[in-house]
Amino acid sequence: MQIYIIFIFITTIPNVKLLNLIQNHNKKICADCKFFIPNKNECSKFGDIDIITGKYNYEQAVEVRNDYDKYGEDAIFFKKNYFKFISITFNFLLENNLSIFLFCYFSFFLLL
């Protein structure tokens, strides 16, 4: 029993010390924000629209986090993404919709 207590004590102490050595471990992460577009590493909070083509142009997340007038390192406009599993799937389907359609189309005829 004493060996287990010593083992638990020894294994937990280094983890506490490592967290103190790692910089920015308590900062907010862009990948957890609802404005983050994961497949392009862009922030949908800051951007504009091209009035000719109607395409949205967003700024890179790295540039937004380095600019203190926008987000800054403290991420003042950060909103937690509680539906991250849905947004990642949605962005994957947006990028690969033709490939998925062709795969489903040809696999349907293989099953017949």
SS3 39: coil
Residue 10 has pLDDT above 60, yes or no: no
Residue 43 lies in a domain: yes
pLDDT value, residue 111 = 72
Residue 57 lies in a domain: yes
pLDDT value, residue 12 = 57
Residue 96 has pLDDT above 70, yes or no: yes
β-bridge partners, 59: 43
SS3 33: strand
Q: Which of 34, 38, 42 is nearest to 78 (CA)?
A: 34
Q: Tell me the mean pLDDT in the region 66-77.
A: 82
- Most confidently modeled of 11-15, 58-62, 81-85, 103-107? 58-62
For 12-46, what is each residue's pLDDT tens digit? 555 555 556 667 677 888 888 888 888 888 998 88
Residue 46 lies in a domain: yes
Q: Rounded to whole angstroms, how far apart are CA atoms 68 and 79?
A: 17
Q: Please give the structure tokens belonging to residue 44.
A: 């949908």
Residue 95 lies in a domain: no
User: What separation in angstroms does the CA of 18 have from each of 27, 28, 68?
Assistant: 16, 19, 28
Residue 37 lies in a domain: yes
Residue with tokens 């909070």: 45
pLDDT value, residue 58 = 92
Domain count of the chain? 1
Residue 70 lies in a domain: yes
Q: Tell me the mean pLDDT in the region 45-56.
A: 90
pLDDT value, residue 81 = 85
Residue 3 lies in a domain: no
Residue with tokens 């490939």: 99
Residue 4 lies in a domain: no
Residue 102 identity (one-letter amino acid): L
Q: Tell me the mean pLDDT in the region 46-72.
A: 88
Q: 34: domain range?
A: 29-81
Q: Rounded to whole angstroms, how far apart are CA atoms 8 and 100?
A: 49
